[in-house]
Structure 1
């Protein structure tokens, strides 16, 4: 199957990007911790990912690959530029509480964990790399990373991410990421993320 080229997401597509990420990440342990009930998870997480992706559209980069039939998005990579100062998302606290509802304490725990362990050196942060479940294993995630890595290497800028499981860790190692110290960071229920760094 031949997919279209990588392009920048349009502003009006950001909710669709958030939904794609939520759909792609639906069964991840971290998402199950944040929103345990299956009937709530897709919408709450889509709203959460949309909130962050809106901010990345202004202070980073949101790349997408279309489905071959033009019927939506097949994959996305959402990056934040931490080589310079950027504000928090506008109205973040209020919007997070509104979308998270009864699960707000879990989202606050996630934010505290990420803030505590985020590196201070200038870098680009790969916040989300998501491929529609029906189109995984076609190399789309690798294509999305390769394009941005090339730009970062030219500019001499490193990259950072938090992997969600051992399979993703192996994928990112193949793309030049190495384990950081500390490597694991744990949500309150013990669900791990794995901190990884890619030198320019």
Structure 2
């Protein structure tokens, strides 16, 4: 299929951030945190850029999918066991970029983060914080390749994997990779529901 998956480098961050912003434009959590559809693409790209730069890149779990021509069409942001929570220092370093991304909706974003952290499993695992592809990359195996890349490592290490699905219709897709729903997380202040999904190694 011509699918290439490789680690994200610092120079890739803007393109990966834009790809994920496109992928999450209609996401219920994104729409709730950034209700202005016209401003959402820029806000999401800034948010993903901050998360990758100040957290995921250092953990070695940020991967991208690109065409043979080098066009980035998707990304997956994984955190290794014991490193899913952002450090205080990196939170402070990334705060200006996050505040710029969310603007007056910063409080909603903080509430979402607190809810997800409170419900996060304590058993060591690889955490899939975000995965998505652009419209151009959909239906061509890029998402599958991104998932299988890290899940193969999970299986080799004997490590479980965990994610939160923000769309109920995506649950069957993740189930095909061995994930199972273990609970629900309702975001505060009328926010949407997410589904906790866990995968034991194979």
Counterpart of 2:197 in structure 1 is: 196
Query: Alignment partner of 1:162: what SS?
Result: strand
Q: Is the alpha carbon distance of 1:36 and 1:159 closer, same or farther for their aligned partners in structure 2, counting shifts above 3 Å?
A: same
Q: Secondary structure at the match of 2:38?
A: helix
The answer on whether the counterparts of 1:59 and 1:86 sit within 8 Å (CA) in structure 2 is no
The CA RMSD over aligned residues, in Å, is 1.7
TM-score for the superposition, normalised by structure 2: 0.90
Structure 2 counterparts to residues 41-120 of structure 1, below 5 A: 41-54=40-53, 55-70=55-70, 72-83=71-82, 87-88=87-88, 89-90=90-91, 91-120=93-122
How many Å separate the matches in 2 of 1:93 and 1:115?
Answer: 17
Does the CA contact (< 8 Å) of 1:75 and 1:130 recur in 2? yes
Q: Which residue of 168, 177, 187 maps to 1:166?
A: 168
Task: Report if aligned partners of 2:3, 2:141 keep a CA contact under 8 Å in 1.
Answer: no
- Write the distance in 1 (CA, Å) between the matches of 2:191 and 2:102: 21
When normalised by structure 1's length, the TM-score is 0.90
The answer (yes or no) to whether the contact 1:4–1:66 under 8 Å persists in 2 is: yes
Q: Name stretches of at least 5 consecutive residues in structure 1 with no aligned partner.
A: none
Residues 4, 68 of structure 2: 8 Å contact kept: no
Cα deviation, residue 97, structure 1: 2.3
Residue 134 of structure 1, CA deviation:
2.2
Q: How does 1:173-192 map to 2 (within 5 A)?
A: 173-180=175-182, 183-187=183-187, 188-192=189-193
Q: Aligned partners of 2:112, 2:192: CA distance in 1, in Å? A: 11
3-state SS in 2 of match to 1:82: coil
Distance 1:148 1:161, change over 3 A: same
Q: Name the counterpart of 2:28.
A: 29
Query: Hey, what's the Cα distance between the residues in 1 that align with 2:139 and 2:38?
Result: 27
How many aligned positions are there?
Answer: 196
Match of 2:126 among 106, 117, 124: 124
The 3-state SS of whatever aligns with 2:39 is helix
Cα displacement (A) at 1:5: 2.1
